[in-house]
Structure 1
Amino acid sequence: MDFVVGGLAGVGAGFFSNPFDVVKTRMQLQGELRAKGQHAVYYKNIPHAMATIVKHDGISALQKGLVPALWFQLFVNGVRLGIYQQADDYGLLRDEDNNTIFVNSFVFGSIAGMCGGLVGSPLQLVKTQLMSYSSEKIAVGTQHGHPGTIFALTRIYKQNGFLGLWRGAHGMMMRNSIGSASQIASYAVFREWMDNNNFFQQFKYLSAFVASNFGAIVKTIALTPMDVIMTRLYNQGVGENGRGILYNGIIDCARKITKTEGLLAFYKGMGPSYLRQAPHTILLLVFWDILKDLQKNLALES
């Protein structure tokens, strides 16, 4: 049941944060492997990017990739939050006073995130390629032209085999491991600190709301460089040998970005990334708390 609760929390959060994910993906691909000033800038900032997307692709384009995004949230957060909750249930995360131990929370959050990233990688692959696809006038990155999720999964499988669906999974696992550990550990410790010191106790879930904001900030700062790399790995074209055309892997991608675009390129799309992470983290962790409370109440009633 812990896995179902985590998955449903992720789906609820994913629906509202998806438009910012579309913007983030486009901005991370903009100017790929080109020096600053040597490429067209279609997406200047978040409002401009949203207006540009709506103008050329229609308002529905802000929810591109929504189907694989929600399935991704279901599987990834079901696995990672489920594993984390199981670790908590077995007493692996807390001290004698029932306070979360930061190191334990960070380690299990990292492991749980890595497992979730492995499971959800094919859906993230498809989601990224669907989100990047646009009209020719504002196109950035490789354009795959998938009309939908099932078509994309089928095409990738036919062209690159079963393992081709997990192309770039190593980047996703590392990205999710970093994001999960930083988000969930900072949230748990900060919320308990507020609860223990009677901060933001006016409403039942107010401390969870405030702590999840803090978790979103920490996660965005820690996650964005790896998120840029992951987006590039997933969206690149594939040669006849099934290997990426632009990048051989995480290290090669990081090296090429540094060489051609500079270190600041690792924080491309950080604005929309935070605006995606903030509501997503808030909704995810507050939904998680609400659903866990509901689960406990149902258990008591039965």
Structure 2
Amino acid sequence: MMATFTSDFVLGGVAAMGAGLVTNPVEVIKIRMQLQGELAARGSHAQPYKNVLQAFVAVAKNDGILGLQKGLAPALCFQFIINSIRLSTYTRAVEKGWVHNKKGEISFLRGMFWGALGGVVGSYCASPFFLIKTQLQAQAAKQIAVGYQHSHTSMTNAIRQIYRKSGFFGLWRGSMASVIRTTVASSVQISTFGKAKSLLKDNDIITQPTCLSFFSGLAAGSFVSVAVTPFDVITTRLYNQGVDSHGRGLYYKGWLDCVAKILRSEGVYGVYKGFWPIYLRMAPYSTLVLLFFEELIAVREKYDLHY
């Protein structure tokens, strides 16, 4: 049983890394669009990123084609840690029957609880890599730079700079924003995936395993995009802001202060910046990570059965 849990832990992380590798360019675009016009009224600032397609072209032209994969190393580390924890936690809950009701059906609320629990633990453990990923992805050529520009040259350089300036716990700055964001995203993603899969299969709409996982993941990603965007914007802003000599944020004091300032300066539109790149990333990401995870588990079970 412990071997199975360990296997799920590793497979969950590997599946997420595979999905993260494919979707990282969209993540770079998302970060830039969320930082564009930070604390400025709509229409009163430069707009180097006008839409998703134009943003891809702008990044490739000014930062080079590899600019679309900025922050990839910490992004993959983040994906491995958070998803190995949350997916293995949810899988164990399913195996133990903790997400099922008295009829043996998957409970939406119980699925949300276990999805959120795994997400909270995973996001807090992986928070330093999310922080570094955000700051590296925000770095851009002067012509298209938005938001605070950090001087990191690599993931290890970023760790050294943050540690030197803010100490060990500086690597967890803004972690509560990430925990809230991931709680929402993970609970919605995993619960809607399980529920969609159950509905499609029980009603004989889709029964082929790979197609079932694909369309269930697509449904989960769509719901997550709507729910998580405001929390994602807040997390990006808190992680990317610079700090003073005392380690205090230059723009925001904390989560609530960030929300208040965005709404006051940018309106409701401000907390939904970057929705389309979030959707374009989240839908395929949710589809790929859950599909890869289930396919890897199927391979493991086939291997175990064979031997």
Q: Please tell me the TM-score bracket, short chain as reference.
A: over 0.9
TM normalised by structure 1 equals 0.98
Question: Shift of the alpha carbon at 1:31?
Answer: 0.2
Other-structure match for 1:193: 199
Other-structure match for 1:132: 138
Question: Shift of the alpha carbon at 1:89?
Answer: 2.0
Q: Are residue 67 (structure 1) and residue 86 (structure 2) matched? A: no
Q: Please, which runs of 5 or more residues in structure 1 have no aligned partner?
A: none
Matches of 1:222 and 1:248 in 2, distance apart? 24
Q: Deviations over 1:130-176 (max 9, x none)?
A: 00000111110000021110100111011100000000000000100
Give the total of aligned pairs. Answer: 301
Q: Are residue 26 (structure 1) and residue 32 (structure 2) matched? A: yes
Which deviates more, 16-25 or 98-107? Answer: 98-107
Give the alignment partner of residue 118 of structure 1, picking from 117, 121, 124. Answer: 124
Q: Are residue 255 (structure 1) and residue 240 (structure 2) matched? A: no
Instruction: Classify the secondary structure of the residue corresponding to 2:42.
Output: coil
Instruction: Read off the aligned partner of 1:126 and give its amino acid letter.
Output: I
What does 1:138-149 correspond to in 2, within 5 Å? Answer: 138-149=144-155
Matches of 1:270 and 1:145 in 2, distance apart? 27
Matches of 2:106 and 2:22 in 1, distance apart? 29
Question: Shift of the alpha carbon at 1:205?
Answer: 1.1
Q: Are residue 13 (structure 1) and residue 19 (structure 2) matched? A: yes
Q: Please, which runs of 5 or more residues in structure 2 have no aligned partner?
A: 1-6
Q: Which runs of 4+ in 1 moved over 4 A?
A: none
Instruction: Read off the aligned partner of 1:256 and give its amino acid letter.
Output: K
Q: Deviations over 1:227-266 (max 9, x none)?
A: 0000000000011111111111110000000000001111
Instruction: Read off the aligned partner of 1:17 and give its amino acid letter.
Output: T
Other-structure match for 2:4: none
Matches of 1:105 and 1:135 in 2, distance apart? 43
Question: Shift of the alpha carbon at 1:97?
Answer: 4.6
Matches of 1:78 and 1:213 in 2, distance apart? 20
What does 1:81-230 correspond to in 2, within 5 Å? Answer: 81-201=87-207, 203-230=208-235
Matches of 1:128 and 1:264 in 2, distance apart? 21
Report percent identity of matched pairs: 41
Other-structure match for 1:264: 269
Question: Shift of the alpha carbon at 1:94?
Answer: 1.4
Matches of 1:139 and 1:178 in 2, distance apart? 30
Instruction: Read off the aligned partner of 1:182 and give its amino acid letter.
Output: V
Instruction: Read off the aligned partner of 1:254 and give its amino acid letter.
Output: V
Matches of 1:95 and 1:167 in 2, distance apart? 39
Instruction: Classify the secondary structure of the residue corresponding to 2:209.
Output: coil
Matches of 1:141 and 1:192 in 2, distance apart? 43
Question: Shift of the alpha carbon at 1:200?
Answer: 2.0
Matches of 2:247 and 2:21 in 1, distance apart? 32
Asked if the contact 1:199–1:207 (Cα under 8 Å) also holds between the matched residues in 2, the reply is no
Matches of 1:49 and 1:145 in 2, distance apart? 22
Matches of 1:117 and 1:249 in 2, distance apart? 18
Instruction: Read off the aligned partner of 2:242 and give its amino acid letter.
Output: G
Matches of 2:138 and 2:182 in 1, distance apart? 20
Other-structure match for 1:240: 245
Instruction: Classify the secondary structure of the residue corresponding to 1:199.
Output: coil
What does 1:258-297 correspond to in 2, within 5 Å? Answer: 258-297=263-302
Which deviates more, 108-117 or 290-299? Answer: 290-299
Matches of 2:122 and 2:84 in 1, distance apart? 8
Q: Are residue 35 (structure 1) and residue 31 (structure 2) matched? A: no
Asked if the contact 1:212–1:281 (Cα under 8 Å) also holds between the matched residues in 2, the reply is yes
Matches of 1:301 and 1:71 in 2, distance apart? 32
Matches of 1:237 and 1:53 in 2, distance apart? 22
Other-structure match for 2:61: 55
Matches of 2:106 and 2:296 in 1, distance apart? 20
